[in-house]
Chains A and B, each alone.
Chain A
């Protein structure tokens, strides 16, 4: 039996397929961290993964465990170097995202006097301009999928994004592979209908005639996930 979170982790892992010897970086929560580690342990063995602080891990430890083998040092200044070199595929979060993949983590409302101050833009401008970028959004809703974001932190396809790969949510997988670079529905997760995704999205989506189901984990992938996350922390993330 696989859970919705398992489907989401696999869909996030698929974002790293074909990346080769670059850093697969999650944003810190179980789903994106597991995705990078799962991809490395199965179909993308050359990937680099890190421990969430400043080590490149030589082996692939379970969540919350230290690596047994360290293969590199990655303090923050090296992270920032990796970003400029495009040798990193990052899976970011977003409080708002629009049809072109512009995202906001800075603040909600008027920038001069926000209704809700969030983090600040962090590394999103540089990540999206210089690196392959994907997003993991655990709660797909019209509050997140908005017609226009209040502050463009991460740039979208209409503002010079380097390579926006995919958006994985608790409902579906989306990408930007349309002639206009607009968001397209790639697959819906088991138990989700296309209409559910449309209702949860505050702008017009590109929807192909036949929308497949997001694939679930293989037996091997489930075994890896259970070893990396025996307490199933991943199940707490998708809404």
Chain B
């Protein structure tokens, strides 16, 4: 598939999960295709980085569900900040661990998973959809019931994939991309290179996502740039800095 074809399957109002973490291994080729598609009014579920920022800048977003939005080496994401400060978007705030439990619940078709993370904090105040649950066992502990994070579409970028949709990470961290794939109704994988035999590229435990969870594969060399995609490339810090310092329309035009 092409990135444009993937973006063409996204309809306005959908919930989109985006893999990676912060400014690391974000499916930026797919995000850029989404920027140019007519879809709008999206809910974005993400350990957020420039994916969230760009979609906010392009006015594609109704709601962000995230524990943070950051560019890692540059702590604050300018376009997400502006959208929040202008009151343009809704924001469902999560603790990082809560968020993982939401993905795990979604991936396992559970309505929720319990955790202590969030108790006592303002996450429960500013995210009033969250409920607590009492342990049915002798401890009787009150816990946060993190609702399943489910999505219409998940977008992830990995190092390698085969044409059928099996996908492989070769970097040091899988992030949560397998959980996004499992928690979404449809998952699209972009990759640096489509290959015939994934085991020539890395060990069997680097096979993160099975084709049974993948609706389509896009070969997109450099498709995570300017975010990192170890070991194929690190973050393009100069381009990331330009993204932060350049007005969005100008940056978007330069990127084509």
Contacts and interface: CB of A to CB of B under 8 A. Distances in A.
Contacts of A80: 96-97, 100
B173 A120 contact: no
A151 B126 CA distance: 9
A76 B76 contact: no
Contacts of B175: 75-76
Interface in A99-125: 106-107, 111-125
Nearest to B121: A125
Interface residues of B, number: 38
B196 interface: no
Given A126-B95, A151-B122, A53 B117 contact: no
Interface residues of A, number: 39
Interface string B80-100: 110011110000011111101
Contact of A117 (B80, B172, B174, B176): B80
A200 interface: no
A115 to B, nearest CB: 7
Contact of B173 (A54, A116, A122, A151): A54
Contacts of A155: 119-121
Contacts of A154: 121
Contacts of A126: 95-98, 115-118
Contacts of A123: 67, 95-97, 117
A117 B76 CA distance: 8
Interface string B59-93: 00000001111100001100011001111000001
A128 B119 CA distance: 10
A54 B230 CA distance: 12
A129 B93 contact: no
A125 B67 CA distance: 10
A73 B173 CA distance: 9
A117 B67 contact: no
B120 A121 contact: no
B117 A130 contact: yes
Interface in B168-183: 172-176
A152 B116 CA distance: 15
Nearest to A118: B76
B85 A55 contact: no
Interface in B94-118: 94-98, 100, 115-118
B163 interface: no
A204 B68 CA distance: 32
A97 interface: no
B173 A84 contact: no
Interface in A42-79: 53-55, 73, 75-77
Contacts of B81: 116-117
Interface of B: 21, 48, 66-70, 75-76, 80-81, 84-87, 93-98, 100, 115-123, 125-126, 172-176
6 contacts: A83-B117, A113-B84, A120-B67, A121-B122, A125-B119, A128-B121
Given A53-B173, A54-B173, A122-B68, 4 more contacts: A83-B117, A113-B87, A123-B95, A125-B95
